[in-house]
Structure formats: structure tokens, C-alpha cells
């Protein structure tokens, strides 16, 4: 690493400590390259996932499910948040030390902005540092979208998901604007902690991208938990009072209100590109505000790559990890790997029980003109899945969409205990051409959730 006149000269500069960027930084460092990794906040070493995303939210899912009926909601929640914060602090420190202790990697804390295609400045005034590199990776992630609703941004009770999981005061009444995956996940968590939860969704129904039977099963579970879900609404105003905030919305032409102690804006996330100085670097963006990349994740400047949420792809940590493999193949490999290689990428909504999906839905399959057959069964009816009864979680449904002519698995929706694990087996089978009959006749441990495949895939109904 060369340092002169407040200029660091490196082989590789990584902007952002997310999964994809840190993985490339570590590997290039192991290969003897000089790497500078810039992270704007000392609270975000390791990226969104271990600090304000996957790890703390899933830990809260776990803690919320352990609360007993006679436990004080506020005391239980406060203990849970303390435990989660200790965990994220541990992960954050481990991420920083693992990277900064490497002889070839330097971690710099501060906001980076391009001044030319090969150089960024970090910090301001006397603390300003310039970093120049031949190869640059942008891995700045995404940030919550706060919609332009009158009074929302000014409200002292509006929170983002990152804000909410760090407060130790459990809101007695939580209003959630947005019924997508984030909104539903937080509704499930906070209802189980003891909050009264109202979800306001603009679409005619929640989970509209799923088949109606699966969506209805999920909604039934949420309603059964005591979550109020109001769809087809338009939030028109958020108004703070002395002791609560009023959320005003229109439903079927009627003006209605809900009172809340906290209002969660769960209307999506946008690529975090503000103040990066992309114009100075000659890096183009898309109409949706993401950094434009090709199938190898190169930007309009071939030596600059964009990984993770900032490139507008699926906002999943595991996709960011796969981004790192594509970039590494460009830097030190054969350069063949691309985003086009990705098939059967699963995802999970961590409600309770979790809802995991992969591939296409029955509706999508039929729209293609294919002849399909469906295997579907309620979890409560799956005799070959005693684990559901052992852990006392028999809610949900398992559904497979299968090509009637080839027996190829086209998609699956698993709303069940352990669905976040089961879906990976299904996705692997889809990637490698394993037929539905082979998955049906597999030999699985007992008692396990996986053995449900033996039964469900034998229930072809049409």
C-alpha cells in the first residue's frame, strides 16, 4: 500500500462493507493485492445483514416466538433487543477485525465520493483522504424509501426498519405503511411481542404475486395472530399528536384513521447512491436509480463494478455473495460467469411459520401454455411430517408446480416450519434437473420436515 500526501494508492478499492464487497476484498487481499475498503459508518462494518438486516430481524423472530403469555411484553422485548444488539456488536467487530487485521487490507471509515474515474475522497477538511485504485467496486447497498406522504417525513414517530429494531421501547400500537415482505415480516414479529399491529397496503391484496391459495393461507395465519390488514388503501396524511400519531387513509372512498405509537415506513428500499459523485466517475445509472451494470456487473466504466442492492438486482445477501463470485471471475478467473447463470433463486418471508418460494407460480406456468400438474397439501394433513406436530407448528401449506410432460419442477411455495431450509433443497433439485418423482422418492431422515416431500409430491391432483 502506497501512502503519500494523504493519498492511498491501492490495487482494489471497495466502497461499502456489504457481503459482496467484503468477500472480494478478503479474497483479493489473500492473493496479495493491496485493498482499501471504505465504510461510511462504524456501525455498519459487515454491511446491512449483520447490523440492521437479516441477523437482527431473524433474531427478533426467534425471541418473539419464545415469549410466554404471562411474560411482560415490554420487559421481554427490551431483553430481546439487548440480546440482539450484543449479537450484532459481536458480528460487527469480528467483520472489522477479520478485514483490518489482514496485512494487505486497510479499512477506512468515512463517506467516499468520486472525484475522477479512479479516485475517491473520504472525509472532509484536514481529515480528507484520497484513495486511488485501478479496480473499484461499489457495494453501498440500499436505503429505506420514505414516501412523500404529507406529514410522514416530519413525524417524530415515523421509523424505518433499522430504527425500529434498535429501540428498546415496544410500541403498544404499530402502524405499518406497506404490506410487502418487509411489512409483513415486521407485523409478524411485533404482534408476537405484543404490539397491536395494523398493516396498510395500497394493492388489492397482500402477497399478490403468489397463487391465491398460498396467499390466502399466509393471510389467514397473519389474521389469526391478530394482525389487522387493510388493503386497497391510500395513505393521505400522517399527523402527530401529543401522545400518538394519526395515520389518515382512504378506503373505498371513505376517509379512515388509525392511531399509533410508531409508524413503520415499509414501502421498499432504493439503491444508496446519494453523494457518491458518480457523475465525476462517468458511471451511468438506470431510470430506477440503480447503477447500470452488464451481465458481468461492470458499470459504464469497465474498471468499476457494482455489487449487491446498489446495482438494482434482487435485494438479498446471498445474491450479493454470488455477485462477488462473478466479479472474482472477471478479476482473476476466466471471465465466463455472469448473472445469466442464475436459475431457481429462492427467497423467504420470515413470518411465523416462514413462507419460502422458488421458481414460478401455477398462474405463471399456465399463462405460458404449459400443461402442468399440481402437488399440494396442508401441513396439518401431512402424515409423513410428524416434526410439525412435535414442534407444535402445523399451520401452512406446501405446493409444487410441475411440468406435466417432463416432470420438471417449475416452482414451489412452502408455508411451513423449516421452509427456509426446505426451499434450498427444492432449488438445488431444480438447478440440476432432478425430477419431481426423484424428490418424491428420496430417502430423508426421520422425523424431519424434508420427508414431507415423500407425501406431498405424491398428491398430484390436476
C-alpha angle with apex 197: 218 to 309, nearest 5 degrees?
65
CB 414 within 8 A of CB 357: yes
Is 232 labelled as part of a ligand binding site? no
Is 345 labelled as part of a ligand binding site? no
Residue with cell 455477485: 323
Is 18 labelled as part of a ligand binding site? no
The number of residues making up the chain comes to 462
C-alpha cell at 86: 450484543
Collapsed DSSP state (helix, strand, coil) of residue 306: strand
Cα dist from 417 to 67, 356, 360, whole Å = 18, 10, 21
| Helix axes of 181-193 and 73-100: crossing angle, nearest 10 degrees | 130
Distance CA 132, CA 6 (A): 11
Is 58 labelled as part of a ligand binding site? yes
Name 4's Cβ contacts closer than 8 Å, sequence gap at least 6.
none
Is 22 labelled as part of a ligand binding site? no
CB 442 within 8 A of CB 454: yes
Q: Which of 335, 269, 270 is nearest to 297 (CA)?
A: 335
Q: Which among 6, 63, 303, 446 is annotated as catalytic?
A: 446
Is 403 labelled as part of a ligand binding site? no
Is 140 labelled as part of a ligand binding site? yes
Is 450 labelled as part of a ligand binding site? no
Is 309 labelled as part of a ligand binding site? yes
Handedness of CA 274, 123, 26, 83 (dihedral sign): negative
CB 102 within 8 A of CB 12: no
Is 184 labelled as part of a ligand binding site? yes
Q: What values do phi and psi take at 340, rounded to 5? A: -70, -15
CB 395 within 8 A of CB 353: yes
Is 222 labelled as part of a ligand binding site? no
Q: What values do phi and psi take at 124, rounded to 5? A: -135, 165
Distance CA 200, CA 210 (A): 19
Is 334 labelled as part of a ligand binding site? no
Whether residue 446 lies in the annotated active site: yes
Is 148 labelled as part of a ligand binding site? no
Q: Which residues are annotated as a binding site for NAD(+)?
A: 178-185, 201, 268
Query: Which sequence positions are flagged as catalytic?
Result: 446
Q: What residues form the annotated binding site for FAD? A: 58, 140-142, 309
Q: Could you tell me which residues are annotated as the binding site?
A: 58, 140-142, 178-185, 201, 268, 309
Amino acid at each position: 500500500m502506497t501512502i503519500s500526501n494523504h493519498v492511498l494508492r491501492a490495487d482494489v478499492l471497495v466502497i461499502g462493507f456489504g457481503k459482496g464487497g467484503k468477500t472480494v476484498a478478503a479474497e483479493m487481499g489473500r492473493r496479495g493485492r493491496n485493498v482499501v475498503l471504505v465504510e461510511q459508518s462504524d456501525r455498519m462494518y459487515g454491511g446491512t445483514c449483520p447490523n440492521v438486516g437479516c441477523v437482527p430481524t431473524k433474531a427478533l423472530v426467534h425471541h418473539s416466538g419464545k415469549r410466554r403469555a404471562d411474560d411482560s411484553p415490554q420487559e421481554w422485548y427490551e431483553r430481546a433487543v439487548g440480546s440482539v444488539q450484543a449479537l450484532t456488536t459481536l458480528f460487527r467487530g469480528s467483520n472489522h477485525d477479520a478485514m483490518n487485521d489482514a496485512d494487505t487490507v486497510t479499512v477506512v471509515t468515512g463517506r467516499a465520493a468520486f472525484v475522477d474515474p479512479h479516485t475517491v475522497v473520504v472525509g472532509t477538511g484536514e481529515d480528507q483522504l484520497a484513495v486511488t485504485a485501478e479496480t473499484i467496486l461499489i457495494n453501498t447497498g440500499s436505503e429505506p424509501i420514505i414516501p412523500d406522504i404529507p406529514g410522514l417525513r416530519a413525524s417524530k414517530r415515523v421509523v424505518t426498519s433499522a430504527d425500529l429494531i434498535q429501540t428498546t421501547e415496544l410500541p403498544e400500537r404499530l402502524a405499518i405503511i406497506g404490506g410487502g415482505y418487509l411489512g409483513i415480516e415486521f407485523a409478524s414479529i411485533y404482534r408476537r411481542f405484543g404490539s397491536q399491529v395494523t398493516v396498510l397496503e395500497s394493492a388489492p391484496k397482500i402477497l399478490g404475486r403468489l397463487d391465491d391459495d398460498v396467499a390466502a393461507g399466509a393471510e389467514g395465519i397473519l389474521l389469526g395472530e391478530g394482525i389487522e390488514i387493510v388493503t386497497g388503501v391510500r395513505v393521505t396524511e400522517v399527523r402527530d399528536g401529543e401522545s400518538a400519531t394519526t395515520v389518515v387513509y382512504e378506503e373505498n372512498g371513505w376517509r379512515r384513521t388509525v392511531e399509533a405509537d410508531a409508524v413503520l415506513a415499509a414501502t421498499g428500499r432504493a439503491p444508496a447512491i446519494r453523494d457518491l459523485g458518480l457523475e465525476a466517475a462517468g458511471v451511468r445509472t438506470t431510470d430506477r436509480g440503480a447503477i447500470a451494470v452488464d451481465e458481468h456487473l461492470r458499470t459504464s466504466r469497465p474498471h468499476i463494478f457494482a455489487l449487491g442492492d446498489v446495482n438494482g438486482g434482487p435485494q438479498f445477501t446471498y445474491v450479493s455473495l454470488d455477485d462477488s463470485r462473478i466479479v472474482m471471475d472477471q478479476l482473476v478467473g476466466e471471465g465466463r460467469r455472469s448473472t445469466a447463470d442464475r436459475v431457481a433463486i429462492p427467497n423467504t418471508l420470515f413470518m411465523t411459520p416462514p413462507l419460502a418460494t422458488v421458481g414460478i407460480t401455477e398462474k405463471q406456468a399456465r399463462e405460458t401454455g404449459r400443461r402442468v400438474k399440481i402437488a399440494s397439501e396442508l401441513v396439518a394433513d401431512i402424515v409423513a411430517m410428524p416434526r410439525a406436530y412435535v414442534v407444535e407448528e402445523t399451520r401452512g401449506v406446501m405446493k409444487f408446480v410441475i411440468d406435466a410432460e417432463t416432470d420438471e419442477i417449475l416452482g414451489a411455495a412452502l408455508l411451513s416450519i423449516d421452509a427456509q431450509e426446505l426451499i434450498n433443497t427444492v432449488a438445488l433439485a431444480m438447478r440440476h434437473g432432478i425430477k419431481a418423482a426423484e424428490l418424491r422418492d428420496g430417502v430423508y431422515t426421520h422425523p424431519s420436515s424434508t420427508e414431507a416431500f415423500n407425501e406431498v409430491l405424491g398428491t398430484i391432483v390436476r
